[in-house]
Amino acid sequence: MGLVKKGKDLWFFEDLYSDTTYGFKVSKVIVPETDTGFQKLMILETDRFGRVLILDGIVQLTEEDEGIYHEWIAHWPLFALQKPARHVLIIGGGDCGVAREVLRHQSVQKVTMVEIDRMVCDLTRRHMPAVCAGVYEDPRFKLIVGDGAEVIRRMKGKCDVIVIDSTDPIGPAQSLFSTDFYQSVYDALTDGGITIHQTGALILQPFEAPGSWRQIERSFDDVRVVQFANISYMGGPFSLTAGSKGKGVFKNAERNALKAYPKAGFKTSWYSPCIPAHPYPEFQKRLETDKYGEEIVMDIELPSRSLPDAKKVGRWALQTCDAIHMLPFGEAITAGSVRGEGETLVQYVETSAISYRRYGRLAALNCFTCAALPMEDAIRFSIDYFKTQRALCWYLPRGSFADIRKARNNTKIFAYGAGTDGLGKAYRPRLIDSADAFARDFPFFRSGIAPQFELVMDIYDCDYEKIASSAAVAEWAGGIFPKISGLSTVGKVDAPDFGHAKKKTAGPSVVQLFKGGSNISHYAANWLMIVVNIVSDRKFNLGKAVRRTMGYFKGRYAICWLLPRGNTGQPLKKVADNTYIFFVEGK
């Protein structure tokens, strides 16, 4: 929304979220919205908060409470160290609030700040001098105008603390949210060193801290989230995520701080070593979850006398949302009579999607969420709704950061009957090499066990710019993948962007219907991951489909499942024997 006139008054409303906002009355525009070449900058005067720095419609700091953020992101890692820091690197932080706090530590001999946008430095120094507070006059301070991702590669083993004081992972900060960047940060630290960066509001940006946690976990020896609150950052609990070079660093962080703080020779207004700042238990549980989401896949045989029409399928979708405690997003996407074999429907929900396809008397159902999935509730509801007696089910842990063997062990194949109490006997998929899955004589397609199959791909460490772009996602789903697979599209691709800060998939989703199948995919920008479900009633080249998809999104590795769909009357063990899981490494 930005600046808005309300009667005689001028107000500012933040643009970070599409479904919620906060605002304040503006007494004077100090710097009107200015294109810096990297982002749009504005500085406003307010009676309540003093002067406010805004970048791309998002509040970065206010004079009234900037000390909360700057004190925590600077002093928490510095006091947590076993030995006092000598060299501190700040990436971003052009307003110099972090540098101001770091320079209060007498042990620090050198502070290097790398800021890509020179105008942020110049305009905040001129119009918000209290934030800088003599930083530029301190001989220990050095400013480098450039890309932090490039500079840090030249600093191996030189930094005791690295503070990443960037904006959210959009615009000029995108290069700071890749796995390669985090590895460069790790390499730049001394042994026992700490890096820390802001990871958003824990409620309103629910994927940002968990996504960063997982990225840091891959490169660093330990991870810790620090929680506090700052009125200028909407959403209540706000997070910083830290990584250490060396194990056991964070185990002693509080004890080190309690010893070092009294000796520092200065007082803080907002930070205190007596405040542990651990995340609420609910947030900690989310951080430690080892998968991105959960999916239940069901094949159920429909009663021959009452094949459901479009309205009934639509009601199933909406009532399934209620059964799994989710909200629907937008209108359902349907193929209808175009396919000539019944209804196909996809309904986005607040944390991914549910889908329905019918092949003759068989209904193929998928329910995927990026939150906890009440699996048995979803199954029981569908059995009751369609008045059938049995569902053949696959449970898939989606986006698991465990290895392939644990992902296999956590995958369940089972039958669920009406009136069932519990899952009963469950099987696991067959673990095979990707070379076997991609071989011409792979027996899956010759088994005749099912009229359709489903290729499920979780692709990791993808290129941020690709998976965060609705246009790039749509190009792959509506053009590139159909050419790779030879599948004929039905209708246009649908690729809404739910945004990195939204309560959904933290990025775009996509639906492309095919003749005899569909492509339903979700793009977790903060996790650098895509999760893909391809259903088809005709064979295509698996190796080409998987590898070219990984190549397009620059994914480093993938975990894939192959499911036989449409298994009416098949013994459960035979279905399990023809369900496969395999690992694919990118080139």
Three-class secondary structure assignment of 22-76: CEEEECEEEEEEEECCCCEEEEEEECCCEEEEEECCEEEEECCCHHHHHHHHHHH
* pLDDT reported for residue 506: 58
* pLDDT reported for residue 389: 85
* pLDDT reported for residue 318: 94
Q: How far is CA 75 from CA 97, 199, 261, 267, 279, in A?
A: 12, 17, 9, 11, 18
Contact 10, 3 (CB under 8 A): yes
What the chain holds in terms of domains, given with CATH numbers, is 2-62 (2.30.140.10), 66-288 (3.40.50.150), 293-585 (3.60.90.10)
Write down the pTM of the prediction: 0.74
* pLDDT reported for residue 464: 80
* pLDDT reported for residue 173: 44
Q: Which two tokens stand for residue 387?
A: 């008045």
Helix (H, G, I), strand (E, B) or coil at 570: coil
* pLDDT reported for residue 16: 82
Task: Quote the CA–CA distance of 242 and 3 in Å, as a whole number.
Answer: 35
* pLDDT reported for residue 347: 93
Q: What angle do CA 348, 303, 395 make, to 5 degrees?
A: 45
DSSP type of residue 427: B
Q: Which positions of the chain have pLDDT values less than 70?
A: 167-179, 290, 336-342, 419-422, 447, 498-506, 568
* pLDDT reported for residue 176: 53
* pLDDT reported for residue 501: 47
Beta bridge partners of 452: 565
* pLDDT reported for residue 178: 64
Task: Quote the CA–CA distance of 148 and 383 in Å, as a whole number.
Answer: 54
Helix (H, G, I), strand (E, B) or coil at 182: helix
* pLDDT reported for residue 446: 75
Catalytic residue numbers? 165
* pLDDT reported for residue 340: 45
* pLDDT reported for residue 421: 64
